[in-house]
Structure 1
Amino acid sequence: MEKNSELNQATVRLIVSACALLYIIILASIETDDAAAYTPIIIYIVTFIIASVFLRLLIQRKPGHFFWRRLFTMLHDYAGIAFAMVLGGEGALPIYAALLWVTLGNGVRFGSRYLALATVIALSVLVLIFWLNPFWRTQPYLFLMLIVTTVVVPAYAHTLLKRTRIASEEAITANQEKSRFLAQASHDLRQPIHSIGLFTACLRDAKLGVEELRLVDNIDRSLHTVSQLFRSILDIYTLDHGKLVPQSDTVHLGELLQDVVKQNTEAARWAGVELRLRASPYWVNVNPGLLTTMVQNLLSNALKYAPGQPVLIGVRRQGTGLAVVIYDKGRGIAAEHLPEVFKEFYRVRHVRDKDVEGLGLGLSIVKRISQLLEVDVHIHSRVGHGTKVAISGLEQATPKILTPKLKTVHSRLNGLRVCLVEDDANVLMATSVLLEKWGCKVQTHSDDQGLASDCDIIIADFDLGTKVSGAECIAVIREQRGWEVPALVITGHEIARIRESLQSLNIAVLAKPVRPPELRAVLLELVKADGPRVQLDVSKIPAS
């Protein structure tokens, strides 16, 4: 939430005027002979405070940039200072600090324009004080010092503000350049990782010997590690830039956890871990993508640090909410490490664990996503006994009433006609070969030129160059066919933004690099969901 600088200034005004009132009261009590001279000052400051209270209420009720209101508050401040210094004489000299503070405060809060205006008003106030109070006329050099200070200090502040503004603009520009670089690098790095994963899956299905299959398995395992590290870096980047805006949905918690377990079946096999999932009938209101990322990171940690041991995933009731709990029987975490494990790049080191992959970002990502989702993460661990991690505070929801979906002749992928649109030659080849090994009949296109298909399903890369997007290609085919052909977009860009842009078009979205089991699962879901053909109003389809 953006800070209300004017409201903060109003609060500071009340604090400073209260301190000024206290100072004058103390001064009056010390100089008992001249105490009566301070009575008008005390009355004025009390009136000033009352007016300041009403002014603060007005700013609170009607925030915003109003020049005349800001000018009035400046005149209000300087009038109070002038009154105190005219009547207070020598004893009110420390109140000059308030004059300087008000001048600098307006500049720092509202910029150089207001700093210049405040400086002009401050100088006018000093001239007025010099003219009305005999004491100041007997101290011309002291008064000259105040004048010089009132000019020099704001002028220096203006220089600093200008330098700060330039540095801030340069930092923003550099940050934007870094964002553009990371966005492009993200897409370019995802492509080869994505294609290698698909080629590896093709090799796994080929008629290879035991030794060759072992080598393929090692390649796949290394690729999985690279993908995990890559996703962790991108997650941290996205969180740092505040681009994740969680949108809740009603989700079947048991199915979400089952999907995570399926995605980690191979990783669990490599680690020698038996994944045990307790069935859960509960529904929750949560952003499914972010909760999946949290569970995925916690499960990855369990696989890394508890190899060869079973891992249990379950759901427990906690008051009116629910908690996802992951138990492992690994080495555990010592008590002195527990307060630190959510910090970025922090890793608990043990003897002979140098081969454990990772950057120490997983738990940091979990913690930061938990703050976005407004849930809690707790870790309980004992050395030698294992670790329990709980994501608690999940809001239980009323189950969705699901409409039974009509089954079609496509109970499997065998014979499924797929239109594949991809501009990267390696990815196009790898995806095509893999789909054909699954029994699909694939029609390939690298762009929208000559795009025509009698397919049952469309798979398209989102970014197909500068002229057309995958979503536009899907729209072209749907318009040709006259019905809403099931479609999947695979993207190397920020998946949350792509999902939001395609939300109304009924298009599934996957982020590169895509694991082959994940791709197969989504295709099977799209095929199952292919009920009666929905006729399209072609006038509402975006033109390519």
Structure 2
Amino acid sequence: MTLHPSGLETDESLRRRIEKLERINAALMSHVERSMDQRGSAYSLFQTAIMLEGRVRTRTEELTGLMHRLERSNEALAAAKEEAETANRSKTRFLAAASHDLLQPVNAARLSISALDDLPLPPEARTIAGQVERGLQTIEDLIKTLLDISKLDAGIVRPQLQPVFLPDLLAELAESFKPFAERKGLRLAVRCPDLTVTSDLMLLQRILQNLVSNAIRYTTTGGVVLAARRRAGGIRVDVTDTGCGIAAEERDLVFEEFFRGGARTGSAEEPGLGLGLSIVRRMAQALDHPLTLASRPGHGTRVTLGLPLSLIPAATAPPAPVATRLSGAHVLVVENDASTADAMARLLQNWDARVSTFRDLAGVRGAIEAGAAPPDILVLDYHLDDGACGLDVAAYLRGRSARPLPAIVTTADHSEAIEARVAAAGAELVHKPIKPAQLRSLLTYMLA
């Protein structure tokens, strides 16, 4: 430090000290600023962390809420599924009971009318009997069709897929509808090469029967063609008519229950129930067979059914029953419905058979132990009172017989379990309402 002679620092010395102090001050200020920046960054990071934690907490709460709602929704869906399955099981049981209870009185009435028709009647009475028979047939068709629709909707019907030889099926259909077509002056033609398809024979037959019946019903001039041909790796079956046709706005509606279009209801033909195409659509869906419709009003309609080609040949059909006489044959009938039993007895007696009727196994056992003549054939109702089964009667009588004892089992229940049990018992199954001609043919065949 340079001193002035008077003992004071010189200007140069003071200037250097001031510059040094300024440098120290600048360094200190820089350090302070850096410290402040570091504290600010840490604070900002702290604030950001708090904000992110809040967002994560909010999102977690939202996700938790969604999961709880999803769990409640899944529980509700599971409960609804269980309720639907329970309702479906109840519907199945109802259908089985309805099939029997609704058709039982129709069965008794038809048997009685058939027995009446075998008697010598004046023309007027025979005409009335015919009208009653047609009315009963309509009632039967309506009940059975509604039951079929309910079963298809409930998923009860399970197709039994097998090879089906189309020429035989189409020829049989044409033969059965030929009288109706000729009565209206219509041509009914079949065009089908040798083709085998994979389908359920009974369901496919029902589909084509309804289509051909509709075509004939709503055609007044020209005819109906039933044709099959190969198309795109499969088979298409066309039912084409020259009838009144269907308006564009009605082409989807014709597949609804009880719908009959304006042009169709104006036909002179007796109107149908409006259920034929509805059940056709459901059966085709159950079989996974595509169904399409094309139509021109005033020119006609073509309904096309797509079928898968089968590489396996169809099995040969068994020979048809050969009719023989029933005279003198002893028929034992077990039927818990009194009116049905009486009608069955009158019908069989008109065919010159000897008839014994019983309500249950106890009555049959009592008669046999009292020395009643053994029967030649059995006609047994499957569902008897108190949960009993007609097959128990067959087992009892066959156990006492030294020769084979044929049996026919009748029921309005179309379940596969009953079919399997009847087949295992070596009996023939006939569904109610019983067709007298079918019953007579089967009886005489089994007695031959």
Residue pair 1:225, 1:357 contacting (<8 A) in 2 also: no
Deviates more, 1:238-247 or 1:138-147: 138-147
After superposition, the C-alpha distances for 1:479-527 in whole angstroms (9 at most, x for unaligned) are 3335543332221213444223434334332222233233334434545
Aligned counterpart in structure 2 of residue 212 of structure 1, from 104, 125, 128: 125
One-letter code aligned to 2:333: L
What is aligned with 1:372?
286
What is aligned with 1:191?
104
> How far apart, CA to CA, are the structure 2 residues paired with 1:213 and 1:174?
46
Indicate yes or no: 2:434 matched with 1:514: yes
Indicate yes or no: 2:399 matched with 1:479: yes
Deviates more, 1:394-403 or 1:195-204: 394-403
Scaled by the length of structure 1, the TM-score of the pair is 0.60
Residue pair 1:325, 1:389 contacting (<8 A) in 2 also: yes
What is aligned with 2:388?
468
What is aligned with 2:154?
241
Distance 1:184 1:157, change over 3 A: same
One-letter code aligned to 2:433: P
> How far apart, CA to CA, are the structure 2 residues paired with 1:309 and 1:234?
34
After superposition, the C-alpha distances for 1:189-248 in whole angstroms (9 at most, x for unaligned) are 110111111111122222222222221111111111111111111111111121222223
Distance 1:168 1:513, change over 3 A: same
Higher RCO (C-alpha under 8 Å, 6+ residues apart): 2
After TM superposition, give the deviation of residue 447 of structure 1 in Å: 1.4
Residue pair 1:263, 1:518 contacting (<8 A) in 2 also: no
One-letter code aligned to 1:366: V
What is aligned with 2:230?
318
What is aligned with 2:135?
222
- Secondary structure of 1:294 counterpart: helix
> How far apart, CA to CA, are the structure 2 residues paired with 1:415 and 1:390?
51
Aligned counterpart in structure 2 of residue 342 of structure 1, from 232, 235, 255: 255
Q: Show the 5 A alignment for 1:31-46.
A: none
After TM superposition, give the deviation of residue 180 of structure 1 in Å: 2.9
Aligned counterpart in structure 2 of residue 398 of structure 1, from 296, 313, 326: 313
- Secondary structure of 1:466 counterpart: helix
Any stretches of 5+ residues in structure 2 without a counterpart? 1-45
Deviates more, 1:157-166 or 1:201-210: 157-166
What is aligned with 2:70?
157
> How far apart, CA to CA, are the structure 2 residues paired with 1:210 and 1:448?
42
What is aligned with 2:21?
none
What is aligned with 2:28?
none
> How far apart, CA to CA, are the structure 1 residues paired with 2:380 and 2:175?
24
Indicate yes or no: 2:301 matched with 1:383: no
> How far apart, CA to CA, are the structure 2 residues paired with 1:217 and 1:170?
47
> How far apart, CA to CA, are the structure 1 residues paired with 2:446 and 2:174?
20
After TM superposition, give the deviation of residue 363 of structure 1 in Å: 1.5
Indicate yes or no: 2:374 matched with 1:454: yes
After TM superposition, give the deviation of residue 424 of structure 1 in Å: 0.9
- Secondary structure of 1:341 counterpart: helix
What is aligned with 1:360?
274
Deviates more, 1:457-466 or 1:351-360: 351-360
What is aligned with 2:413?
493
> How far apart, CA to CA, are the structure 1 residues paired with 2:399 and 2:189?
43
> How far apart, CA to CA, are the structure 1 residues paired with 2:428 and 2:100?
19
Deviates more, 1:188-197 or 1:411-420: 411-420
Distance 1:525 1:264, change over 3 A: farther
Aligned counterpart in structure 2 of residue 296 of structure 1, from 209, 226, 229: 209
RMSD: 4.0
After superposition, the C-alpha distances for 1:28-73 in whole angstroms (9 at most, x for unaligned) are xxxxxxxxxxxxxxxxxxxxxxxxxxxxxxxxxxxxxxxxxxxxxx
One-letter code aligned to 1:413: L
Q: Show the 5 A alignment for 1:271-286.
A: 286=199
Distance 1:425 1:291, change over 3 A: same
After TM superposition, give the deviation of residue 399 of structure 1 in Å: 5.7
Q: Show the 5 A alignment for 1:131-146.
A: 135-146=48-59
Residue pair 1:274, 1:309 contacting (<8 A) in 2 also: yes
> How far apart, CA to CA, are the structure 2 residues paired with 1:331 and 1:477?
59
> How far apart, CA to CA, are the structure 1 residues paired with 2:173 and 2:393?
31
Residue pair 1:311, 1:326 contacting (<8 A) in 2 also: no
> How far apart, CA to CA, are the structure 1 residues paired with 2:184 and 2:321?
39
Distance 1:423 1:190, change over 3 A: same
After superposition, the C-alpha distances for 1:374-418 in whole angstroms (9 at most, x for unaligned) are 4444545443444444545364653646788997xx723344432
Distance 1:199 1:243, change over 3 A: same
Distance 1:369 1:431, change over 3 A: same
Residue pair 1:340, 1:346 contacting (<8 A) in 2 also: yes
Residue pair 2:199, 2:307 contacting (<8 A) in 1 also: no
Distance 1:270 1:436, change over 3 A: farther
> How far apart, CA to CA, are the structure 2 residues paired with 1:263 and 1:326?
15
Residue pair 1:327, 1:388 contacting (<8 A) in 2 also: yes
Task: Number of aligned residue pairs: give it.
Answer: 392
After TM superposition, give the deviation of residue 425 of structure 1 in Å: 0.8
One-letter code aligned to 2:203: L
- Secondary structure of 2:385 counterpart: coil
Scaled by the length of structure 2, the TM-score of the pair is 0.71
Q: Percent identity?
A: 30
Q: Show the 5 A alignment for 1:238-277.
A: 238-249=151-162, 268=180
- Secondary structure of 1:455 counterpart: coil
After TM superposition, give the deviation of residue 443 of structure 1 in Å: 2.4
